[in-house]
Amino acid sequence: MSMLVFGRTGQVATELAQIAPDAVFLGRDVADLMDPAACAAAIHAHAPRAVINAAAYTAVDKAEADEAAAMRVNSEAPAAIAQACAALGIPLVHISTDYVFDGSGAEPRKPADPVAPINAYGRSKLAGERAIVQAGGTYAILRTSWVVSAHGANFVRTMLRLSETRNALNVVDDQIGGPTCAADIAAACLAIADQLISDPEKSGVYHFSGAPDVSWKDFATAIFAAAGRTVAVTSIPTSDYPTPAQRPLNSRLNCSATEATFGIARPDWRAGLHDILAELKEVSG
């Protein structure tokens, strides 16, 4: 039996394809998360040894005006997926987000800390988490933050694109979190899935983010330094960069339970950034 992955072109799914080529990847053409019943049917059809849900509605700002779609993809579909997994007795690894928290304070959030999402995307992801728990199967909900890679839309690629035409940028400095490389998330998901197969008692909610925690401004500065780009980065508060969806100021995640339970430590995003830049350079020739 193979691993079944929901998602095919997203950042984590793309990385999973690199390290788990024998897995079965389901894109929207086969299992659209807007159709939860189709997702459940796919699990029953493939009867995999484990399922990783690497697909989601991730358009944070768009979700403010289309919360129903976000809920269908991020809550109703994971509910159907989790119920199918529970029925077949197979583990589910589901990727969630720091946005389930309100972003207050300065302490890294633990998995059991109170949740209080401040935007539609966060509400949809929290609803999905609760549905997975209620399904009663074997699961790991892996909350992560600030996902980056050489693929798709993310902060690293945006900064590099902007640096091609601008030598100065204003970047938010009061949002703090851990940039997390999609390759590290993919490896963690596989390791967790394998351990859940042999030890379902490890089911639960976990955190996984890159270290050290930084602001977006400091992350941008590191990107430009690593890429050899000369860009002056000026700090601005979140209030100077309004967006439809409110962002949490504190995205720090306490990942100690993940290391204690699965032996997976927080990855150093600086090493991951080096790999991302090398991949982008190779692709560009």
All domains in the chain, ordered by first residue: 3-284 (3.40.50.720)
Task: Dump pLDDT digits (tens) for 93-111.
Answer: 999 999 999 999 999 999 9
How high is the pLDDT of residue 285? Answer: 63
Is 0.95 surpassed by the pTM of this model? yes
DSSP codes, 36-93? HHHHHHHHHHH--SEEEE------HHHHTT-HHHHHIIIIIHHHHHHHHHHHHT--EE
> Which DSSP symbol is given to 229?
-
Q: Which two tokens stand for residue 261?
A: 């339970």
Asked if the model's pLDDT at residue 1 lies above 80, the reply is: no
How high is the pLDDT of residue 30? Answer: 87
Percent of the chain with pLDDT over 90: 96
Q: Which two tokens stand for residue 264?
A: 């997976």
Q: What average pLDDT does the segment 61-89 reach? A: 97
Nearest to 155 by CA among 227, 240, 73: 227
Q: Is 99 a catalytic residue?
A: no
How high is the pLDDT of residue 268? Answer: 98
Q: Find the catalytic residue in 57, 99, 121, 139.
A: 121
Beta-strand ranges (E) seen in the chain are: 3-6, 24-26, 50-53, 92-97, 139-144, 147-148, 168-172, 176-177, 180-181, 204-207, 214-215, 232-236, 250-251
